[in-house]
Amino acid sequence: MPGADFTIEETPEGPSLRFSGALTLAEISVLHARLSTLSDPPARIDLSGIERIDTVGAWVIHRLARDHDATISGASKDAERLIEQVCAADQPFKIRPDRTNPFLRVLGEMGQATVHAGATLVGLLGFFGATLVAAWNLIRNPKRFRINAVIRQFEVVGVTALAIIGLMSFLIGIVIGQQGAVQLRQFGAEVFTINLIGRVTARELGVLMTAIMVAGRSGSAFAAQIGSMKLAEEVDAMRIIGVSPMEALVLPRVIAAVVMMPLLGFYATMVAMVGGGIYCWLALDIPPVTFVQRIREVVPMTDLWVGLVKAPVFGLIIAIAGCFQGMQVEGSAEEVGLRTTASVVQAIFLVIVLDAAFAVFFTQIGWI
Amino acid sequence: MTDGGDPDILIRVRGLSNGFGDQIVHENLDLDVRRGEILGVVGGSGTGKSVLMRAIIGLQTPQAGEIEVFGKSMAGRDDEEAQSIRKRWGVLFQGGALFSMLTVAENIQVPLREFYPELDQQLLDEIAAYKVAMTGLAPDAGPKYPSELSGGMRKRAGLARALALDPELLFLDEPTAGLDPIGAANFDTLLKELKDALGLTVFLITHDLDTLYAICDRVAVLADHQVIAIGTIPELLALDHPWIREYFKGPRGRFAADANERNKANADMNRTETGA
CB pair distance less than 8 Å for A29 and B120: yes
Residue A111 lies in a domain: no
- Same domain as A321, residue A250: yes
- Paired with A5 in beta bridges are A20
DSSP-assigned letter for residue A190? G
- What is the Cα–Cα distance from B207 to B40, expressed in whole angstroms? 9
Residue A260 lies in a domain: yes
Most A CBs within 10 Å, among B116, B120, B126, B134, to test the A interface: B126
- Same domain as A155, residue A81: no
pLDDT band of residue B273 (cuts 50, 70, 90) is low
Strand-strand pairing, B38-43 and B218-223? parallel
- Same domain as A193, residue A70: no
- Same domain as A27, residue A160: no
Q: Report how many domains make up chain A.
A: 2
Query: Of A41, A59, A88, which residue sits at a domain end?
Result: A88
Containing structural domain, residue A31: 5-88
Query: What is the predicted pLDDT for the residue at A173?
Result: 96
Query: What is the predicted pLDDT for the residue at B275?
Result: 52
CB pair distance less than 8 Å for A331 and B147: yes
How far the first Cα of chain B sits from its last, in Å, is: 48
Q: Is B129 on the interface with A (CB under 8 A)?
A: yes
Q: What percent of chain B has pLDDT over 70?
A: 96
pLDDT band of residue B118 (cuts 50, 70, 90) is confident
Residue A242 lies in a domain: yes
- Same domain as A162, residue A80: no
Query: Of A45, A71, A88, which residue sits at a domain end?
Result: A88
Predicted complex: ipTM over 0.85: no
pLDDT band of residue B276 (cuts 50, 70, 90) is very low
Splitting chain A (368 residues) into consecutive groups of 10 residues, what average pLDDT does each group show? 74 79 80 78 80 83 83 80 81 77 92 94 94 93 89 94 96 96 92 93 94 96 95 90 90 96 96 96 94 94 93 96 94 88 95 96 90
- What is the Cα–Cα distance from A189 to A205, expressed in whole angstroms? 22
Instruction: Pick the residue from chain B with its C-alpha nearest to A88.
Output: B134
Q: Which residues of A touch B197 (CB under 8 A)?
A: 81-82, 85
B116-144 exposure pattern, b = at least 16 Cβ within 10 A, e = fewer = beebeeebbbbbbbbbbbbbbbeeebbeb
Q: CA triplet B80, B29, B234: central angle to 5 degrees?
A: 115
CB pair distance less than 8 Å for B197 and A85: yes
Mean pLDDT, chain A, whole residue set: 90
Q: What percent of chain B has pLDDT over 90?
A: 1
Strand, helix or coil for residue A25: coil
Question: CB-hemisphere CA count at 13 Å for B176?
Answer: 24
Nearest-Cα distance to chain A for B173, in Å, is 21
Residue A307 lies in a domain: yes
- Same domain as A327, residue A196: yes
Residue A300: CB atoms within 10 Å: 15
Which of A326-340, B32-46, B90-104, B243-257 is predicted least confidently?
B243-257
Query: What is the predicted pLDDT for the residue at B1?
Result: 40
Residue A239 lies in a domain: yes
Which of A194-198, B77-81, B103-107, B232-236 is predicted least confidently?
B77-81
Q: What is the CATH number of the domain that holds A32?
A: 3.30.750.24
- Same domain as A178, residue A64: no
pLDDT band of residue B3 (cuts 50, 70, 90) is very low
Query: Of A39, A70, A88, which residue sits at a domain end?
Result: A88
Residue A344 lies in a domain: yes
Q: CA triplet A261, A264, A270: central angle to 5 degrees?
A: 140
- Same domain as A74, residue A202: no
Q: Is B198 on the interface with A (CB under 8 A)?
A: yes
Residue A253 lies in a domain: yes
Residue A103 lies in a domain: no
- What is the Cα–Cα distance from A255 to A158, expressed in whole angstroms? 12
- Same domain as A311, residue A240: yes
- Same domain as A168, residue A64: no
Q: Which helix (H) or strand (E) is A8 found in, with range?
A: strand A5-11
CB pair distance less than 8 Å for B126 and A63: yes
- Same domain as A307, residue A179: yes
How far the first Cα of chain A sits from its last, in Å, is: 87
Residue A156: CB atoms within 10 Å: 18
- Same domain as A168, residue A72: no
Give the C-alpha distances (Å, rounded to integers) separating B184 from A85, B170, B208, B232. 21, 18, 9, 21
What pLDDT digit, counting tens, does each position of B167-207 carry? 888 899 888 887 788 878 888 888 887 788 778 899 989 88
Q: Is B112 on the interface with A (CB under 8 A)?
A: yes
